[in-house]
């Protein structure tokens, strides 16, 4: 058994939450690589004797991609912080409830 009887649901939900955050991190990493590859391609691709990275529409698209990547990264950081706080609170709560049970 992984834990005490009756704690299986908590363990399963915790595993799902960790998996969700890992998936978000993987998506943000893929998004970051996509932005980098887009910048590289825009600098290499020549149209009308000018790299397309100099065109306003391309600059706007890359800026939007970079902004979305940054925002996604910040969201993952905030979610991880919230998860850590919840884990710390539950550990503190478990310690205090055990202490009360032992005193009774």
- Percent pLDDT > 70 in the chain is 83
The domain total for the chain is: 1
- Ranges 13-17, 48-52, 78-82: which has the least confidence: 13-17
State the pLDDT at residue 100: 57
In whole angstroms, what is the distance from residue 47 CA to residue 22 CA? 40
CATH number at residue 21: 1.20.140.10
The Cα 10–Cα 18 span in angstroms is 12
Name the band, by pLDDT with cuts 50, 70 and 90, for residue 79: confident
- Give me the mean pLDDT over the 50-70 stretch: 94
The answer to whether residue 41 is domain-embedded is yes
User: How far apart, in whole angstroms, are the C-alpha atoms of residue 1 and residue 9?
Assistant: 13
Which range marks the domain in which residue 18 is found?
8-103
pTM (2 decimals)? 0.64
Task: Judge whether 94 lies within some domain.
Answer: yes
58 found inside a domain = yes
Q: Is residue 62 part of a domain?
A: yes
Whether 19 is covered by a domain: the verdict is yes
Q: Place 30 in a pLDDT band, splitting at 50, 70 and 90.
A: very high
């Amino acid at each position: 058994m992984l834990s005490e009887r009756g704690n299986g649901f908590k363990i399963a939900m915790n595993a799902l939450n960790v998996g969700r955050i890992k998936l978000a991190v993987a998506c943000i990493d893929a998004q970051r690589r996509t932005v980098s590859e887009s910048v590289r391609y825009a600098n290499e691709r020549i149209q009308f004797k000018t790299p397309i990275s100099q065109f306003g529409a391309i600059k706007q698209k890359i800026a939007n991609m970079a902004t979305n990547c940054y925002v996604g990264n910040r969201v993952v950081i905030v979610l991880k912080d919230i998860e850590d706080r919840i884990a710390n609170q539950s550990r503190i709560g478990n310690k205090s409830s055990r202490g009360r049970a032992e005193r009774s």
